[in-house]
A = this chain, B = another copy of it.
C-alpha cells in the first residue's frame, strides 16, 4: 500500500510537471512579479491569454512589500484609483488626489487576481537569456532555477517558448539589457533623477514594444526610455501594467 507521504510527493510532482510542460509554449511570459508585472499578467489572464509570470525570487511582489523606507504603505493617485477598486485593494484618502494603501494588501490582492485569472506562476526561476531565431524576434526564454545561480553552480538551462515577452523587472530592465548587451537593436538609457510627477505622467508613453516580441512595463519602461524615477507611488505602475496587457493582447489578436 502506498504511504501517504509518497502520495503527497507524487501529487505535487505530477501537477507541477503538467503545468510546466503545458507552459513550454505559451502566448505571453511576464518577467518580474512587482506591481506592473502582476497587473499586466492578471489582465492578460482575464483576456484569455495563456500567460505565465516568471519571478526570480521565492516570493512574488517585488519591491512593493516594503512600502517606502520599510514603512509598508504605498500611495496611488486619482487616475489609478479605479485599478485599486478593480483589484479590491482598500485605501484611504490622504490629501486630495492621493490615496494610501497597505503594501502587503496590494501585493496579496494583485497576486490573487492573477491566480484567479489563470496565470501560472514560476517562482525561483531566473531568465538567463532569450531565444532569438531566424525571424529576429524574441521567441522564448532561457530559464534556470534561481538557486543554481545563487549557489554558483554550473548547470544548463531549459527553454520556454512564448509569442510575447513582457519585461517587468523594474529599474534593472533585465531582459532589455540582456538583449542590448548581446547586440540587439535596443538601448537602455537608464533611469534618470527622481521626479515623480513627470515619471508618472510619461510612463504610459514608454510602455511599448521596444524590440520585436519584447514589451516593457513599469520602471523597466522608464529605465529603457531614460525617464525619471518615481519612488513609492504606484499608480503609474498599475496603469503601465494595464497598458502593456492591452498592447500584448492586441499583438496576439485578442
Contacts and interface: CB of A to CB of B under 8 A. Distances in A.
| 10 interchain residue pairs of minimum CB distance | A66-B155, A59-B59, A147-B147, A108-B111, A16-B71, A150-B151, A105-B115, A5-B159, A11-B94, A156-B232
B8 A142 contact: no
A189 to B, nearest CB: 9
Contact of A193 (B92, B94, B130, B198): B130
A145 B192 CA distance: 21
Nearest to A101: B15
B69 A59 contact: no
A21 B116 CA distance: 29
Contact of A157 (B69, B90, B100, B154): B69
A9 B73 CA distance: 10
A74 B121 CA distance: 14
Interface residues of A, number: 101
Contact of A183 (B192, B231, B233): B192
**In the assembly, how many copies of this chain are there?**
8
B67 A12 contact: yes
Interface of A: 2-17, 20-21, 24-25, 57-75, 88, 90, 92, 94-95, 98, 100, 102, 104-105, 107-109, 111-112, 115-116, 121-124, 129-134, 139-140, 142-148, 150-151, 153-161, 182-184, 190, 192-198, 229, 231-233
Nearest to A183: B192
B156 A194 contact: no
B4 A196 contact: yes
12 contacts: A5-B131, A6-B24, A6-B160, A7-B95, A8-B159, A66-B153, A68-B155, A69-B156, A70-B124, A132-B194, A147-B153, A150-B150
Given A58-B66, A130-B193, A111 B104 contact: yes
A184 B140 CA distance: 37
Given A17-B13, A62-B154, A104 B123 contact: yes
